[in-house]
Each structure stands twice: as structure tokens, then as C-alpha cells.
Structure 1
Amino acid sequence: MPMSVAEAGVTLADPTAYADEDRLHRALDLLRREAPVHWVMPPGYHPFWAVTRHADVREVERRSDVFLSGPRPMLAPARTVASGTGGGRKGLLRPLAHLDGAEHHVMRAVTASRFTPQAVAALRPQIRDLARGAVDRMAGRQGEVCEFVGEVADVYALGVLLLLLGLDDSEAATVGRFTPAARRSMAPEQRTATMREFYTYFLALTADRRARPRDDLASVIANARVDGQLLDDHEVLSQFVILLMAGHDTASVTVAGGLLALTEHPGQLSALRDGAARLPDAVEEMIRWVTPVKAIMRTARVDHALHGVRIRAGEAVLLSYPSANRDESVFPDPHRFDVHRTSNRQLAFGYGVHHCLGASLARLEIEEFFAALLPRLVSATVAGPPVQLTTTFSGGLKLFPVRCVLKN
């Protein structure tokens, strides 16, 4: 039965739709074609404008003077949406993605020096070692069914996170509990208890790095000053939250989704293994294909016309990244996974002032993993139904059983 535009709009507020890619992309294709800026009133949510074309998503991101992150930075049921925008430097945890203007600029600068191209390039040898270790562990399971997300991708991404923070492998079990991937499988009461543990752990780490600073990202955060003052507890914890959210999940879900795409498109895998395609281009295609962040929200500060539609001050917009990354006006044959695709203008890392600070690091992690895997990969076979996460914000594969044969 054909889907209506109204049904397509409501789909964007349905977490189960993001676990059903056929259904999701039917809705997004319809919205881009017939109502690229569409008013949506989903049950249980405050209404919003759905923005689905690549050019319009870029326009909203570019106009940070018009479209603000606060007070509604992500789509959530109406009953859970906090009122107000917070105030000043004190208050609830507010990661970078929730901040605007001068406050965003100041807090982004806290860790920016660690994510410059030069700083990221300096990490390549250590990340290469982590990637080779991950592939060695896969080889140790030669021919067995491996749940790739939990056993490989999450572990590899966690290793890079520990490297950044200056923590050794003995901290992996503790820090791993704080990652979004681990918290998703917890009951609500467990998540609450885990967040309390997160506060305790990272405030203790901050105190340690203030007393004994090292050359690591934890020390940078602990000893950063704004207007001559050390960051308060909420600001420190907000910095660590974004590291755990973006620093772990982006690489993990793209590595997993990238391998699934290669197993489902053996011709693309062959092109990478025999050198007919360039790995950096393939990494960009994996990022476009997976699009880890599904949607973010912005709120209009003043009236603004977008694609011929007047958005009024105070109205919210939802930016659909999976839709922008399948826009046929930008990506020829957008529903085809193509490792030969060049000049890839994917928007998975955002655009403008909120462009992901760790984008270069994520690319490096993904590239080094596949650089380690592909020369040794004899075969990869999906060994059970892959399962996608239900979400309206960030996600990808939840389960991916795979059987790999690797060269020793």
C-alpha cells in the first residue's frame, strides 16, 4: 500500500523505522520528492519541520545565526523534553552539540588542539597497532561465527578512546560500561546507576589529572580554563560525554556497517582488495551509507524561508542526515553502495560550526581497520540476520553475526 506524505513524516519520529532501512528510505525518498520541508505532528512529540534535502540541511547548518541547537537539540518524546535552555556556565550536562554561539566556540576550543589533522596523524601508528590487534583477534576465531559489533567493532573503538584519554587496558571494562553501545542494553534503572558511576569515575579522573597532568586528552579537559577559571564539574562531564558518544559510536557503527556492506556487495569488496578502488574513497562511502547520526534538531531564532516554506521563530526543524546522504540530486544512484564514488559530499559529520570535531579521527580509525583487514580477508559471510538499533538520534548495527576466514 502506498505511503502518504503525512505517514512518511511521522516515520521520522518512529524509532523502529531506523531499524527497517527499506521503510525508512521509502519515507525519505517520498519527502524529498514531494515535501522536502514538511510539517510533522507525530503522536507523543512536539511538532517540527522535517528537512530532508541535502541543500536544505546544509543551509540550516550553515545559518547558525538563525537556527539554534537549544532548547531542543535532539528529537525526544514531549514528556522528556526539558523546558528552557539552561543558563550560563552552570547547570545540566550540555555537550557541544547542545551549545550555540560564543559558548559553543569556547567549549569547542577546549579539546580542538587534539583533533587537528596534525594531531590526529600523529596517532596513526598507535591506531594502526590497535587495528592489527583487532584483526588478529578475528583470525583467532578462524571460521567461527563472530558477533562483530560487540566482539570486534566496539572493542576496537573503545581501544582508541582509551588511547586518547591516556588510560590503559585495565580500564576497558569500566569505561566500556559508559559507552552508548553498552548503555543501550541496560534497563532504565541500570542506566541511571551507570550514569552515577560515570560522574564518579570521570570526576575522580579529573582530580587525578589536575594533580598529576599528563600528555593526554583527559589532562587537557581537566586543566582547561575559561576566563581564567577551571571548568566546573558539569562542563568537565559534558566534555567526557561527547567523547563517549561521538568518539566511540561513530567509528564502531561505521566499521560494522562498512563490513556488512562489503559482504553484501562482493564486487565492491573485490575492487578494494585488488586495488581497483581507493580505501579513502571507500571510507567516505561507508560513512555515507551508514550515517551514524540519524537526526538532530534546530530551533528557529527568527522567521526564515527555507525551500519556499516560512519557518517561524520558535518552530523546530529536524535535519535528516540519512535523507541528505541519499539525495539523488547530489549522489548519482544514491541507494547503491559504491566504493568507487568520488567527491563524496556526505553530511554524516554535519556542516558549519557544528561539524564534528572528531571527523578526522573517525576517518582514520575506519581506514586503519580496513587497511589491516582487507589484505588478510579471504571471505566474510553473514551468519545470521543483522539487527539495526531502534533510535531517533544515533545508531547503526546492534548485532552482526559474521563468519570470517583470514590469512595468518
Structure 2
Amino acid sequence: MPIVDEAANVLAEPAAYADEARLHAALAALRADKPVARVEVAGYKPFWAITKHADVMAIERANRRFTNWPRPVLMTAESDEMQAAIGIRTLIHMDDPQHRVVRAIAADWFAPKAMKAMGERIEELAKQYVDRMRDTGGECDFVSEIAVNFPLYVIMSLLGVPESDFPLMLKLTQELMGSDDEELKRSTPPDEAMNALVEMFTFFTALTNSRREHPTDDLASAIANAKVDGELLSDVDVVSYYAIIATAGHDTTSSSISGGMRALIEHPEQLDRLRQHPELMAGAVEEIIRWVTPVKAFMRTAAEDSVVNGVSIPAGDSLLLSYASANRDEDVFDDPFRFDIEREPNKHVAFGYGVHFCLGAGLARMEISKFLGELLPRLRSIELAGEPELTATTFVGGLKHLPIRFTID
């Protein structure tokens, strides 16, 4: 098998995403020699790997020619069938005009005005978690003790989930997004791989019923009682809405915070620069998000015969948009493997582009900014205390362990 074909197959191998050197070597080879590559791997339905930034952007723009439905995420053929049987329809599964209408239900909760109102609360939470770091005695696993909990608290508070249920939601979101990782996934037979999703749906169905009987001033109530064409959302659609906000609003941000911490530790000159010049925070947050790229890829389906970068794509074929590759594209980013908090321009695609641009992008940026804004002035020293470990995944993920040693005031 040609080397470039072996490189393309890496995109359907969860373990490859836990080996950054191997992953990025494969993606660089694809960008250089076969930017639109056919991938046929046992256990998965075939797809085309799209690795150039310009091609990813072009496909994102053409949202009627390349649709999210029916395959928005790379999963095994078995998991594709299981999700279809359950009837999951989250925002990432929908296309216009349905997508536009359903997205609008939560849009105001993530608008700049709402984010400004949440700023003070997020600052309070950031202080609590930096205090928690200090109270560990100067050494901790930053991922499990800090990074997964801070954004979980933010998004669950926004939804209106009781704090007593936060541990359950953490467990379910990690099992759902970590289903390809031996450490994080459920220790169940393969035919029970969707149990975390089913359990999450059960939880949110009860929440929906509660908010419909007793509406409150939270996002869960807004979703539960929203009407489209005069009708409440179906049970599956409303629970799907909660599920995508809970998982996307938590796992992506926790991965960015932990990956950003690792990047700053491994690039101490950048850490010092940011500490000395806090006005660089906005740019630093963008570089952290590009560097980590917590959403590794999304899928699209060709609604008609198309051509991408000179390659004919038949109608009905799937395409994988590799954000991990696009965000290291040498044609777009000067020295893309350099972590640079002052990178300008920084046209990363970590939040997607076009009509499916991440609904919670503003919230994620604020959480990263507020956490670092609280930590850095109090930080006296920080270093790795062990080997960082990444999650095996083909969708959303980042570090699962980051042992650090530090001194905090």
C-alpha cells in the first residue's frame, strides 16, 4: 500500500490522535501529496479525507452542496447504525432551514450581551478553581482535578442542572466523548457502547418534563418550552439539544484549557510574555485553540456530484474535514508548528466556519481567558511532573492526564 494511503488511514484510527508526532507527520504528508484522499478502513463506511485549509473552508461555505445529514461525525459503521436507530438529531446533524430555526432557540444565551452578563460569574468560578489548585499542595493532575471541572460547572449552571448531578454529567460526557479510549470508555460489551448516550437521554428527558411542568429562568427551560411552527420540539429533538450543549460545551473547553496549560509550560518564553503583557490574552486564547484543536474533524455528505481540489466526489459520498490538519496548513500559517501567542493573522478553523460555526465559541473564549487571567498573576512557578497523556479519539478530545508541579499565591 502506498505510504500516502497509509497516512490517510490514520484519520480513522483513534489511537493516532494520542500520538501527536505520528498524526501530524501523516497529515503533513497528505497536505503535500494527496489533500483529497479516499479512505477505506475496516469497520468504517468509506470517506474522503480533506486536509487543506482552503478546501475545508470551501466545503463549509457550500452548506447546501455538502450537508451535515446524515453523517456529521466519523464513527464506526455499527455506531452510525445505532445512532440512526435511536433517532439522534442534534444541531450538528441538521441542515438549513431546520438548522437555522432550531439553532435560534439557544442563540441569545450565547450572544455577546449574555456572555457579558455571565462574565462576573465565570470570574468567580475561575478564582475558585485556581484556589483549588493552590490547595492541592503544589502538585496535581491538572486535567482531572481542574480542567474538566471548571467548564463543566459553567455549562451545567447555564443549563440549570442541579449541582448534585454534576458528577453524573461529567461521567457521561467523558464516556461519550471518550468511547474510543480504553481508559475512558465504559467497560461493557461492544453492543452496549451507546449506553452512555442512552443514560444521558434518560437524564435529560426527566429534566425536560420538569421544565415543562415548572418553567425556570435557565437554558434548559428555554429549550424544553421552545416551539417551532407552533409545536414543542419532539422528545428526541429536545434531549438531543441538551446533549450537544452539555458535551460540546464541556469537553472542547476542558481540552483547550488543559492543552493551553501544557503549551505554556512547554514554551516558557510564551508564558513569560503573556504574564508580562496580559493585554495579549485575546490572541493567546486564539493560538491555544488553534494549537489544541479540540474538535478534530467533522463530516459532510455530498448532496450532488462535486469536485474538490480537482478530485471528483460522487453524490452521496462522505467527506471528513480535518480541522487538525487545516490548523497546521503551511499555506495559511507561518511556521504552523510554532506556538506563538502573538500570531497574526490566526485564521484557525477550530470552531468551524459558516452556518455551523460553533454556537458556544464566545463562551469557550471567555472561560479560557478568565481562567488564565486569574491564574497567571498568582503563578510563581510551573513545570511538568510526569508525562502528558492524550485521549484516543477521532472526534473531540485532548489531554486526559497532565501531571504538573507549581507554586501559586
Shift of 1:168: 4.3
Shift of 1:140: 0.7
TM-score (norm 2): 0.93
2:23 alignment partner in structure 1: 24
Distance 2:188 2:357 in 1: 31
Shift of 1:174: 2.9
Shift of 1:198: 2.4
- Equivalent positions of 1:2-151 (< 5 A) are 4-82=3-81, 92-144=87-139, 146-151=140-145
CA-to-aligned-CA distance 1:275-326 (integer Å, 9 cap, x gap): 1760110000000000001111111011111111111111111100010000
1:256 alignment partner in structure 2: 258
Is the 8 Å Cα contact of residues 200 and 243 (structure 2) preserved in structure 1? no
- Equivalent positions of 1:235-384 (< 5 A) are 235-275=237-277, 278-384=280-386
- Which stretch of the first structure deviates more once superposed, 346-355 or 207-216? 207-216
> Which residue type is aligned with residue 140 of structure 1?
D
CA-to-aligned-CA distance 1:151-172 (integer Å, 9 cap, x gap): 1011101110122012443332
> Which residue type is aligned with residue 210 of structure 2?
D
Shift of 1:85: 7.1
Shift of 1:176: 2.3
Is the 8 Å Cα contact of residues 70 and 99 (structure 1) preserved in structure 2? yes
Is the 8 Å Cα contact of residues 35 and 49 (structure 2) preserved in structure 1? yes
- Equivalent positions of 1:187-226 (< 5 A) are 187-188=187-188, 192-226=194-228
Distance 1:399 1:7, change over 3 A: same
Distance 1:84 1:181 in 2: 16
Distance 1:84 1:208 in 2: 26
Which among 149, 154, 163 is matched to residue 157 of structure 2? 163
Distance 1:195 1:13 in 2: 21
> Which residue type is aligned with residue 130 of structure 2?
V
Shift of 1:8: 0.8
**Aligned residues between the structures:** 401
Give the aligned CA root-mean-square deviation in angstroms.
2.0
Is the 8 Å Cα contact of residues 57 and 324 (structure 1) preserved in structure 2? yes
Is the 8 Å Cα contact of residues 176 and 197 (structure 2) preserved in structure 1? no
Distance 1:253 1:213 in 2: 33
TM-score (norm 1): 0.94
Distance 1:302 1:100 in 2: 15
Q: SS state of the match for residue 12, structure 2?
A: coil
CA-to-aligned-CA distance 1:341-367 (integer Å, 9 cap, x gap): 122111001011111111111111111
Q: SS state of the match for residue 321, structure 2?
A: strand
Shift of 1:373: 0.6
Shift of 1:39: 1.5
2:148 alignment partner in structure 1: 154
Distance 2:136 2:233 in 1: 45
Shift of 1:255: 0.2
Distance 1:140 1:395 in 2: 27
Distance 2:324 2:8 in 1: 14
Distance 1:262 1:131 in 2: 18
Distance 1:403 1:174 in 2: 29
Distance 2:200 2:187 in 1: 16
Distance 2:194 2:314 in 1: 37
Identity in percent: 49
Distance 2:147 2:83 in 1: 37
Is the 8 Å Cα contact of residues 67 and 301 (structure 2) preserved in structure 1? yes
> Which residue type is aligned with residue 403 of structure 2?
P
Is the 8 Å Cα contact of residues 224 and 230 (structure 1) preserved in structure 2? yes
Shift of 1:192: 5.0
Structure 1 unaligned segments of length 5 or more: list them: none
Distance 2:347 2:279 in 1: 18
> Which residue type is aligned with residue 43 of structure 2?
G
Distance 1:403 1:182, change over 3 A: farther
